[in-house]
Amino acid sequence: MIAHITGTILAITDKYIIIETAGIGYRIFATAETLVKHQPGNSLSLWISHIVREDSQDLYGFENQPDQDLFELLRSVSGIGPKSALGVMNVATLGTIARAINANDVSYLTKISGIGKKTAEKIIIELRDKLPAVMESSDTSSSHDVIDALVALGYSESKAREASRSLDPNLDTQTKIREALRSLNK
């Protein structure tokens, strides 16, 4: 099993990225945020979920382990395959998904393409108790407040997430918001 890849980006499409390492190019499906954030020729390191099926082997890449953990949790729900799990992650952050699940917000989850009411209910029931472990493994409390504040100010969720990732985790939430605004307005 492939668990981690570091290499040079050869190409980026709207669904996957090709990373070359040791002379081999790996096609890795990734979130839209990861795809727009990087450029060919740059180096990239991704945590990999290697999905083996009867007729294919696919790689799904994540820039951090909490995102990979969320992907694996979503895949553990019956009816959610890897493409649907990635689709959920393209729409919402870990914190947003956790809040929707904790609030039993079926309507939020059904806004995601490919997720119907029954699947949304399954996600809530099956992941309600599992999400706290993933949440503890990432610095989500104030970073999600920062993202929510930036989205409320009119920035896209992907831009807000990107800005919040570069912040010093030791700063308080208000300072993080100010720093994120500075970086977005450069």
pTM of the model: 0.69
The CATH homologous superfamily to which domain 4-62 belongs is Nucleic acid-binding proteins (2.40.50.140)
Q: What is the pLDDT of residue 169?
A: 67
Q: Report pLDDT for 143.
A: 67
Round to whole Å and give the CA distance between 137 and 49.
18
Question: Tokens representing 96?
Answer: 């947003």
- Say how far apart CA 160 and CA 144 lie, in whole Å: 9
- Nearest residue to 30 via CA among 8, 52, 45: 45
- Where is average pLDDT lowest: 20-29, 37-46, 59-68, 100-109? 100-109
Q: Report the C-alpha gap between 20 and 91 in whole angstroms.
A: 28
Tens of pLDDT along 74-95? 899 888 889 888 888 887 777 7
Task: Give me the CATH topology for the region 141-184.
Answer: Helicase, Ruva Protein; domain 3 (1.10.8)
Q: What would the CATH number be for the domain defined by 65-136?
A: 1.10.150.20
pLDDT (tens digit per residue) in 124-150: 888 877 776 555 444 445 566 777 777
Give the closest residue to 58 by CA, choosing from 83, 75, 35: 83
Domain layout of the chain by residue ranges: 4-62, 65-136, 141-184
Q: What local confidence, expressed as pLDDT, does residue 112 receive?
A: 75
Q: Has residue 57 got a pLDDT over 70?
A: yes
Q: For position 108, what pLDDT does the model report? A: 81
Share of the chain above pLDDT 70, in %: 91
Indicate whether 170 pLDDT > 90.
no
